[in-house]
Amino acid sequence: MRCDVIAQGIIEAANEVHCALPIVVRMDGSNVEDGKKLLLESGLNVQIGDNLGDGAQKIVGMLATA
């Protein structure tokens, strides 16, 4: 998958519904660095996991501090 396209879709959807919730994304595919950059610069409350385990740990960490 083209991660830059997926990232842009996430950004557009989150903005359309005015999402204020934290988002955890695991990205793997082509243009992964471009996708990560788009998400990190989007202004959304987003964390990026390198794999499913890392993404799950980020979610657990967010729940522990909530």
Q: What is the CATH number of the domain that holds 23?
A: 3.40.50.261
Domain extent, residue 54, equals 3-65
Q: Positive or negative, the Cα torsion across 6, 26, 18, 37?
A: negative
What pTM did the predictor assign? 0.85
pLDDT band at 36; cut points 50, 70, 90: very high
Domain count, the chain: 1
Residue 37 exposed, middle or buried by CB count within 10 Å (0-12, 13-18, 19+): middle
pLDDT band at 65; cut points 50, 70, 90: confident
Contact 14, 45 (CB under 8 A): no
pLDDT band at 19; cut points 50, 70, 90: very high
